[in-house]
A and B are shown apart, each in its own frame.
Chain A
Amino acid sequence: MTKTISYSQGILEAFEYVLSHYPESFILGQGVWSPWYVGNSMQGLDKKFGKERVIDSPVSEGVCTGVGVGASLFGHKPIIVHPRMDFMILAMDSIVNQAAKWSYMFAGQAHPCVTIRSIINRGGEQGAQHSQALHSWFAHIPGLRVVMPYSPKDARDLLIASILCNDPVLYIDDRWLYEQEEYVEDIQEIDLSLQGPKVIRAGEDITIVAASYSCFLGVEVAKLLQTEGISCEVVDLRIINPLDITPVLKSIRKTRKVIVLDGGWKNCGLAGEIIASIVENIEPGLLMSPPKRFTISETPAPTSIELEKIYYPTVTDICDFVRTMF
């Protein structure tokens, strides 16, 4: 059966699916009983599956994440929810030193299969500590899979795959995508380790590489530039660690131009990594112009609406930039 779902509905359906099919799964995090914290992406789960399996927590990011790691070692499939990525910073040790390294340190004898869901929640004059997109930090860490869905179908299917995956997974969704809709088939379980970047819009003249909300911008840019005779191919990275650059290279071999969009900062960020991987692997002389990246300004998020307007890249900004590459 096919139907239309929104991105946030995709997340909700993934949770419903996992909680119904896997009794060993449970959710722990701040605001999961509240109608405000996580939009409508978890609405009613506590009523449907009980407050023992959908657990609202104290203001304790550190311990909640750590217990997710611990419980995952003993047969549970915990999903830890951080309603804002900024708050998850208080849980860095459990994620980076513990979860990501556990399998390796003990030579694969134990696997913390915890899933950590964290939300990028920007805009609305929230300012520096409530607006960060820190995915690049986490993609730096071997042992931690980092998933960033763009499409509603991926929001659903990659969340399920993340929870079923035997490795620790950081699943990052973006509030700015919640209303996006897509026509989808019934749920089919997929293996996260087999997923990688996908071409989500075919084109001839330039490759736009992006993940999550930046894919949305990329697709809008492609639509607009199409009317001016610039044909853009958009590659959705989907999973940023471990990173499979092959589909990106394949696209670039066709278009011979590339721009990477990222909602994070430039220095040591995802966009830089993609470009480095391209430059290392692409045949000399193939690119018709230097690879480019479009990221946010190198400054924390302001609150004032007038500064916020120029802080986050818009379709117009990116189109202007892409035109200069022709």
Chain B
Amino acid sequence: MEAIRILEKPKSKQLGDLSDPEMFRHNLSINVQDVTKLCAQLEKMIFIRAVEESIAELVRDGEVKCPCHLSVGQEAIAVGIAQHLNSSDRAFGNHRSHSHFLAMGGDMESLFAEVFGKETGCSKGRGGSMHIYAGEVGFHGSVPIVAGTIPVAVGAALSAKLSGSNAVGVAFFGDGACEEGIVHESLNFASIMKLPMLFVVENNLFSSHLDICLRQPSDSTARFAVAHEMESRVVDGNDVVAVDKAAAELIERARAGHGPGFLEAITYRWLGHVGGNSDIDVGVRRSQSELESWKKRDPISRLYRALEEKGNYTKSKLQDFEKATQDLIKTAIEKARRAPWPKADTLCEHTYDEKVI
């Protein structure tokens, strides 16, 4: 029988250089007037990575047992987008959402407590890594059913529009999620209703073990935005400046009532689909050399080098920041270890609203 589907990488890739880890390794090109913001973004990325690397270690050591999907390598996307969101916005995530939660300002200690399953966690130990919440900063929940929050985010945008608020809805999802039918219904709906909505595809070229070219006829998902007549941008997701710029444009448009936007950010995850190890040997066509190559397109060092080159950030400042971050993380982990477990008699709490009207 003839092969029923393409099992080799397609000759012509729509993403071109964007999916090539040999490319885009240069220091980011930065504007002098943005230095303060860029330093903050650099630190935010370093912070997110450090938190996730500690979680990876806790998973490897067996101390954290809930499934953890980490975004190490993908930090620029959350940071660049969160730059343009505020606590009245309505962002939603997926199974891989620690970075969204932290970039929006979610409480790091409550994240650690959550992955430990403690009562002090952001979801009181009911959710673990895959169900996190920080409503106070505009992060309204992440869930692991792929594409599950996308229509919910569209609903949040509809509500914003109906109530005349200038909040935007944001859905963070992956390239794999684009294979679910509900994504297309959501894009269509947001488009015809001209909703204040941003769809963010973190295209890391994989859905668990499968390369995008084994799952879709093109390696770029922005074609779905085109099909729904939606404004879109495709950017290097390991370039926080590029993500920031695209997010600014699309969010501004959405807030101004010009309808939804679609931002596809090309990136790569450094760790396995789930857990603390890099799954180079089991991923279908995810090789050690490809992974090593992507590590050279590191969103953090590319920004750091650019800032350092111009004297806007220094090695010693970096070391100080890393040290301070490690101290915060250590404290958070200690607190999480000592925190109380949810009480047995609260098992069924929160199934329904307990308020009596």
- Give residues in A with beta carbon < 8 Å to B: 31, 33-37, 51-52, 55-63, 86-87, 90, 124-130, 297-300, 302-307, 310-311
Contact = CB atoms under 8 A, between A and B. Distances in A.
A306 B351 CA distance: 17
A31 B128 contact: no
Contacts of B146: 59, 87
Contacts of A128: 126-127, 131
Given A127-B66, A297-B348, A59 B144 contact: no
Interface string B277-315: 000001010000000000000000000000000000000
A125 B117 contact: yes
B348 A36 contact: no
Nearest to B125: A304
A306 B207 CA distance: 31
Contacts of B130: 126-127, 129-130, 303
Contact of B351 (A125, A298, A303, A305): A298
Nearest to A87: B145
Contacts of A125: 65-67, 117, 128
B156 to A, nearest CB: 19
B143 interface: yes
Interface in B257-272: none
Interface in B102-150: 117-118, 121, 125-128, 130-131, 143-148
Contacts of A297: 347-348
A57 B209 CA distance: 11
A306 B341 contact: yes
A304 B208 contact: no
Contacts of B207: 58-59
Given A127-B66, A302-B125, A36 B4 contact: no
Given A59-B177, A304-B342, A307-B342, A126 B66 contact: yes
B227 interface: no
B95 to A, nearest CB: 9
A127 B117 CA distance: 11
B179 A34 contact: no
A304 B182 CA distance: 30
A196 B169 CA distance: 51
B126 A302 contact: yes
21 contacts: A34-B208, A52-B4, A59-B179, A62-B181, A125-B65, A125-B66, A125-B67, A125-B128, A127-B66, A128-B126, A128-B131, A129-B143, A129-B144, A129-B145, A298-B351, A302-B347, A303-B66, A304-B125, A305-B65, A305-B341, A306-B342
Contacts of B182: 90
A131 B129 CA distance: 15
Contacts of B216: 58
Interface in B200-229: 207-210, 214-216
Interface of B: 1, 3-4, 7, 65-67, 117-118, 121, 125-128, 130-131, 143-148, 176-177, 179-182, 207-210, 214-216, 282, 284, 341-342, 344, 346-348, 351
A6 to B, nearest CB: 22
Contact of A310 (B131, B143, B208, B344): B344
A60 B179 contact: yes
A130 B144 contact: yes
Nearest to A303: B128
Contacts of B118: 304
A52 B180 contact: no
B209 A31 contact: yes
A302 to B, nearest CB: 5
Contact of B7 (A51, A58, A62, A130): A51
A298 B350 CA distance: 11
Contacts of B351: 298-300
Contacts of B145: 86-87, 90, 129
Contacts of A52: 1, 3-4
Given A125-B65, A304-B128, A306-B344, A90 B180 contact: yes
A302 B143 contact: no
Nearest to B3: A52
A80 to B, nearest CB: 15
Contacts of B117: 125, 303-307
Contact of A302 (B148, B177, B208, B342): B342
B199 to A, nearest CB: 16
Contacts of A311: 347
A62 B209 contact: no
A226 B144 CA distance: 43
